[in-house]
Amino acid sequence: MKRLRLWLMLLAALCLVPALPVAAAPPPPQGGGTPMLMNPAPQGGRLAHPQGMNPPGGGMRPSVGRQLAPQQGAHPHRPLIGDVTAVEPDGLTLALPNGEERQIAVDEATRYFVPEVAEPTLEDIHVGDRVRVGLRPPAEPEAVPVARSVAVIPEDAAGLRGTLSAVGETSVTVETRLDQSITVQVDETTRVLIPGEEGATPEALQEGDRVEIGGRWLDTSTFQAWIIRVDRRPIRRMARGRILTLGTSQFTLGTMDGVVTVQVDEATRYRQGGEEVGFDALAEGQFVTVAGEKQDDGTWLALRVVIGFARPR
């Protein structure tokens, strides 16, 4: 679990959050991605970018609100983003965006992420690299902070998300929300994050997987993956309408989008007038709101059903 959290943090460093929009085409070759995404907004709410507020070459900067540089000095354990100015056997020196220099120690527990390097170490971190450093709380208030993780953020880092429509040995195809098919190259250095599967490789990817990918654009239809996060959780939806037919363990719901078959089980919860009720409170003709998960057969499995016009909680 700790290793999974680490890789999720590194994925964030390569500009992936659920709010990241899918680009129709790659940014200019010299354009950057957005580095640090996992922290709340600092005071002032300014967006961070490896090349400042406006990437070189122009173009649209991702509009994601949460991609924010850590506020230096506001929290001693907040991850840092900066440029490496020195590398020593026991640590490195960072030049932070505010001009401050910070000494960072490393130890045998420090983890590294360097794109296209299968098993990176401190030796793969070089002067001039832009990095995101996750910190462990120091043993003493004045002690030099120790890095939990060090992730290199290349200038051309970018993000992509969508659904896998094809899986091959050296590439996969991602269908984006813009109805584009993007070829994504993978190799032995590509990190794959699948909850519950330790040490997953690209061979574990499946058609239909929803993915978020950190990497870089090679051209307008090809993306190189450094790290892939897979989301196989059931898709939760909400629907409102009137009960058309009622069975013993399911009912049909007439909605604005058509008719939905809703399954229920022992875990389904029901509310009416602010009170908990049971399945026997349902009746044909009632207006209900359903929060549930879409199943492979097209039906829904209801998690909550609210009778009346209130929203499920």
Predicted pLDDT at 225: 95
Q: Are 89 and 125 in contact (CB under 8 A)?
A: no
Mean pLDDT, residues 14-19 taken together: 42
Average pLDDT over residues 269-273: 94
What is the domain partition of the chain in residue ranges? 158-231, 236-307
Quote the percentage of the chain above a pLDDT of 90: 60
Residue 249 — pLDDT band, cuts 50, 70, 90?
Answer: very high
So what's the pLDDT on residue 12? Answer: 57
- CA nearest neighbour of 162 among 144, 141, 184, 145: 184
Take residue 248 and report the two structure tokens written for it. Answer: 């013993």
pLDDT-based confidence at residue 75 (cuts at 50, 70, 90): low
Percent with pLDDT over 70 in the chain: 74
Model confidence at 223, pLDDT cuts 50, 70, 90, reads very high
CATH 2.40.50.140 is the classification of domain 158-231: yes
Question: Mind listing the pLDDT tens digit for each residue in 98-130?
Answer: 999 999 999 999 999 999 898 899 999 999 999
Residue 166 CB neighbours (<10 A): 12
- Topology match between the domains 158-231 and 236-307: yes
Categorize the per-residue pLDDT at 263 as very low, low, confident or very high, splitting at 50, 70 and 90. very high
Q: Tell me which fold the domain 236-307 belongs to.
A: OB fold (Dihydrolipoamide Acetyltransferase, E2P) (2.40.50)
Distance between CA atoms of residues 299 and 55, nearest Å? 45
pLDDT band at 311; cut points 50, 70, 90: low
| Range in 38-52, 67-81, 123-137, 160-174 the model is least confident about | 38-52
Backbone angles phi, psi at 10, to 5 degrees: -70, -35
CA-to-CA separations, 294 to 22, 69, 96, 300, 311, in angstroms, rounded: 24, 37, 46, 5, 18
CB 86 within 8 A of CB 127: yes
More confident position, 162 or 8 = 162
282 to 243, 246, 277, 290: CA distances (angstroms): 8, 8, 9, 12
**51 backbone dihedrals φ, ψ, rounded to 5°:** -115, 20
CA dihedral 198, 203, 204, 208 (to 10 degrees): 150
* pTM to 2 decimal places: 0.58
Residues 135/79, Cβ–Cβ less than 8 Å: yes
pLDDT computed for residue 55 by the predictor: 37
